[in-house]
């Protein structure tokens, strides 16, 4: 007699990092109970014919502190096919890291429709780094600092960067660095402002790719001395890509992330969309884009994440006074699929690695998350590769009043998702209730980068 499952998903193509498979997926309770051909019956049978079945997608770079909070951000993410988030919990100068982490966890448990983890964000590591060991005991094991934003008082100097990476290494955690040369950037900004230059024309010149590369190299070298694994978020420049490639060739424990905006948009958007397209690091050129795509395809970059940071601003705002950031979480999967898989830049199995398996491995959630395996959480996404649609601000669910992808047409979109066997997205609508999300303790930086390389 065949075993009966709570849910069976049939007829779809199951995508893993190993390839494309004609498998069914059986779910019992909160876990995947079977994966294979011709499974037994389910109480609920879902026909995925003509569609892809993906492991739950993970966004490890989200900011629930601007227009979106832990609740609305998770809803926008769920509409975009994401099932798990890792948020940056930023402790601003004068704030306690531990109190910040507790506050973010409590808000997430009250509001989030998705499971979530946290990164510690240190704006004042001189006074906050001593709390890192206690944060690790809470299940937060990745910690970010800024090498930029000196004028705002947020920049970490090399002494404090070294000290903090040393503390992170001692607890077995993962360092994370926003890598741009902050002091040089501030000088260039002052110089061009004094000359009366159009800020849209000189924005990238104030934050050139070579200074991103310099900061990435400096951060990696310091981390290597301290034997601290390091993660570089939002890589945007070919010069940064070159540094990461060299470090990986040496076998150093370095992880690289880029974002959909750097893969699909260029600095020309600044002239078309004004302050809406102000992000940091800045949008760059076509040659940078192609270097990033090569890095993803060849395994020199390990993760695609959104850097979702929607802020209140308008196209015609004073450019240098306008805040950095844009909404990205809901459009990430469909935009990357359109520009990556549909354009032949990356394979579908590699897409699954970059958006699911690798993030789970880097932050110690695998195989509970990021896998379609027996015993894994029943987190999965059904993706319709034939669904053509147009992105507009009217069909987005962030509190932001705009999207940088207004009018984009994409072929392919998530239409259904489960998390722990519970329906999140059904017929393109989020049906999950706030407060169902579970906090996830991380074990970041344990996997060797060699295990994150493309398989197919």
Residues 124-172 have pLDDT tens digits of 999 999 999 999 999 999 999 999 999 889 999 999 999 999 999 999 9
**What band does 2 get if pLDDT is binned at 50, 70 and 90?**
confident
Q: Which residues of 296-310 are buried (b: 16+ CB within 10 A; e: fewer)?
A: bbebbbbbbbbbbbb
The CATH class for the domain spanning 56-371 reads alpha beta
**What band does 359 get if pLDDT is binned at 50, 70 and 90?**
very high
**What band does 280 get if pLDDT is binned at 50, 70 and 90?**
very high
Q: What is the pLDDT of residue 3?
A: 83
Tokens of 404: 């940088």
**What band does 308 get if pLDDT is binned at 50, 70 and 90?**
very high
Residue 309 CA: distances (Å) to CA of 68, 141, 440: 8, 22, 22
Secondary-structure breakdown of the chain: helix, strand, coil percentages, each rounded to the nearest 5: 35, 25, 40
What average pLDDT does range 268-296 have in this prediction?
Answer: 97
**CA–CA separation, 228 vs 221, rounded Å?**
10
**CA–CA separation, 375 vs 441, rounded Å?**
18
- Does residue 107 contact residue 100 with C-beta atoms inside 8 Å? no
Residues 6+ apart with CB under 8 A from 395: 389
**What is the domain partition of the chain in residue ranges?**
56-371
Checking if the pLDDT of 1 tops 60, the result is no
- What pTM value is reported for the model? 0.98
Strand partners, 26: 8, 34
């Amino acid at each position: 007699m065949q075993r009966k499952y709570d849910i069976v998903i049939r007829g779809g193509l199951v995508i893993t990092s190993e390839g494309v498979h004609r498998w069914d997926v059986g779910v019992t309770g909160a876990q995947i109970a079977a994966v294979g051909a011709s499974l037994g019956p389910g109480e609920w049978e879902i026909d995925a014919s003509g569609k892809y079945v993906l492991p739950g997608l993970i966004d490890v770079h989200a900011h629930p502190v601007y227009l979106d909070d832990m609740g609305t951000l998770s809803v926008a993410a769920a509409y975009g096919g994401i099932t798990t988030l890792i948020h940056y919990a930023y402790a601003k100068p004068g704030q306690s890291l531990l109190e910040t982490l507790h506050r973010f966890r409590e808000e997430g448990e009250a509001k989030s429709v998705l499971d979530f983890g946290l990164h510690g964000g240190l704006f004042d590591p001189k006074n906050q780094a001593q709390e890192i060991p206690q944060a690790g005991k809470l299940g937060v094991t990745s910690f970010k600092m800024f090498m930029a934003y000196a004028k705002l008082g947020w920049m970490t100097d090399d002494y404090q960067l070294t000290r903090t990476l040393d503390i992170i290494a001692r607890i077995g955690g993962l360092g994370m660095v926003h890598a741009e040369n902050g002091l040089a950037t501030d000088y260039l900004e002052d110089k061009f402002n004094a000359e009366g230059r159009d800020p849209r024309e000189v924005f990238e010149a104030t934050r050139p790719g070579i200074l991103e590369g310099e900061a990435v190299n400096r951060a990696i070298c310091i981390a290597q001395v301290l034997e601290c694994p390091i993660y570089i978020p939002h890589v945007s420049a070919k010069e940064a890509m070159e540094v990461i490639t060299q470090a990986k060739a040496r076998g150093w424990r370095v992880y690289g992330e880029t974002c959909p905006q750097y893969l699909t948009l260029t600095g020309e958007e600044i002239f078309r969309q004004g302050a809406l397209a102000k992000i940091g690091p800045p949008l760059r050129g076509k040659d940078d884009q192609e270097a990033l795509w090569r890095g993803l395809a060849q395994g020199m970059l390990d993760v695609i994440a959104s850097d979702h940071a929607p802020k209140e601003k308008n196209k015609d705002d004073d450019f240098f006074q306008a805040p950095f950031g844009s909404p990205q979480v809901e459009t990430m999967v469909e935009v990357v699929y359109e520009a990556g898989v549909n354009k032949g830049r990356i394979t579908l199995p590699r897409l699954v690695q970059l958006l699911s398996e690798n993030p789970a491995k880097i932050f110690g959630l695998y195989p509970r998350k990021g896998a379609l395996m027996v015993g894994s959480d029943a987190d999965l996404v059904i993706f319709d590769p034939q669904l053509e649609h147009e992105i507009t601000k009217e069909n987005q669910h962030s509190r932001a009043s705009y999207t940088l992808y207004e009018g984009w047409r994409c072929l392919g979109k998530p239409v259904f998702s489960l998390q722990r066997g519970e329906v999140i997205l059904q017929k393109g609508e989020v049906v999950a209730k706030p407060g169902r999300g579970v906090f996830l303790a991380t074990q970041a930086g344990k996997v060797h980068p060699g295990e994150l390389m493309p398989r197919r």
